Amino acid sequence: MRKKRVLILGGGISGLSAAHFLSKIEYHITLLEKEKRLGGWIATEKEGDFLFEKGPHTIRLEADTCLELIKDLGLEKEVIYADPLVAKRYLWSEGLLRQLPSHPFSFLFSPLMKGVIPALFHEYKTPPVSQEDESVYAFITRRFGSKIADNLIEPWLLGIFAGDIKSLSANICLPLWKKFEQEYGSVVKGFFKREKKPKPLLFSFKEGIETLIHRMQAKISGELILDERVEEISIYSDKVSVKGTTKVWEADELISSLPPFEMKRLFASLDSEISSLFGKIESSTIVSAHLGFNKKIHLPKGFGYLVPSKEKESISGVLFDSQIFPEQNFGRDLTRLTVMMGGVMQKEVETLTENECLQRAMMSIEKHLHTKETPSVIKINKANSALPQFKIGHEKIINQLEQALNVRFPQIKIIGNYFRGASLSECIRRAKSASDYF
């Protein structure tokens, strides 16, 4: 009996995870990747004693699927957890780095928390409103007030989604908070009444997150074809056909992890309505400046800091890499920093040169961290259209997409970072779900 053939488009974390889970079943798997390497935005770079993550820096252990994948790959002994000190986070506010409260006492006396207690009482007494979707800004302002939205929520979500909270969907970006409002009548009540669970741990691997990619690449039983761009998709009653750079590939089923703009192009000749839906999903560009110093730079203990857009600075935040995962410091007395910029609020970075991005980074850390030290290692990485923007109505677009595909193209399943969260854990979970369908 012939094995069912499954074609997977895209060799990032989503496509590789789907290939991994499917390879545990008796399927003939072929994966097509347009680049000369696998991993997508995940890329760990080492130079001398310095290790930098060009893409995601951490994985949040928040789903059983993550654990299953790590065990499948035999990576348990390679896992390292973020230093407990990273619980401390900072905000650049009114010309100073200020620590965000990490316990009740500091919460009461932190200048960042001015007005928070009255806002919590206001939220507790504010009746719920039932509506299909609204912006994060509208939701937070309605329940807590505009100061909480501007001073705390905006920089927090800017660091996650690189988007504007006045257009980001509360349903997607704050699903738990929205759920608490509907179930308990208040977000505050929800946090008090919810089932208490341990806070998800942040982890990586001793040699960086790309370890996950290398191990999957070695263990997947199937064809992994690199440097093969998808030019066209054709659907027949008994098969799916994909025209690539070098040949035409055929399969019984297709899983695509390609980004929305690529799916828009590929569906233009298949189904204009589905193509249009893909076209409604926007993405933003992120630039990271990785700086390695051959000495200890005086840093506050913690994960790093975020910069609210109201501060009118040229960066969105800094990660203290050498403190997050000290096990990845391969030399003594070194400091690793990643300076983040870009996103919807700093679109101009899309046109900046590497030198201009470096100048932004150096001027910012001199101002914020009071250091004029020259880095020994410099890496500038621009991730074009890397982060999907979960705007108001995004959930509706995804539901329409999935429904249309299920009815008109049941042979095609879509996965990736643009559904209901862009985290690596969510990408792995959705890939597992797609493989379970088969």
The per-residue pLDDT for range 41-87, each reduced to its tens digit, is: 999 999 999 999 999 999 988 768 888 999 999 999 999 999 988 88
- What pLDDT is recorded for position 301? 95
How many other CB atoms are there within 10 angstroms of residue 326's CB atom? 12
Cβ atoms of 135 and 170 within 8 Å: the answer is yes
Q: Tokens representing 110?
A: 């932190």
What CATH topology corresponds to 4-41+215-281+390-437?
FAD/NAD(P)-binding domain (3.50.50)
Q: In the predicted model, what is the mean pLDDT of the chain?
A: 93
- Whole-prediction pTM: 0.93
Contacts of 407 (CB under 8 A, 6+ apart): none
Comma-separated ranges of CATH 3.90.660.20 domains in the chain: 283-388
User: Residue 218: exposed, middle, or buried by beta-carbon count in 10 A (0-12, 13-18, 19+)?
Assistant: exposed
CA distance 163 to 384: 14
Q: Residue 263: pLDDT above 80?
A: yes
Does 3.40.640.10 match the CATH number of domain 283-388? no
Cβ atoms of 158 and 94 within 8 Å: the answer is no
Q: Residue 110: pLDDT above 80?
A: no
Q: Tokens representing 54?
A: 């060009």
Question: What's at 374, amino acid-wise?
Answer: T
- What pLDDT is recorded for position 106? 54
What CATH topology corresponds to 115-193?
protoporphyrinogen ix oxidase, domain 3 (1.10.3110)
Question: In which element (H, E) is residue 369 found?
Answer: helix 354-369
For residue 16, the SS3 value is helix
- What pLDDT is recorded for position 237? 87
Cβ atoms of 54 and 44 within 8 Å: the answer is yes
Apex CA 368: angle with CA 363 and CA 369, to 5°?
A: 100
Comma-separated ranges of CATH 1.10.3110.10 domains in the chain: 115-193
pLDDT digits (tens, 9 = 90+) for 299-312: 999 999 999 999 99
Comma-separated ranges of CATH 3.50.50.60 domains in the chain: 4-41+215-281+390-437
How many other CB atoms are there within 10 angstroms of residue 328's CB atom? 22
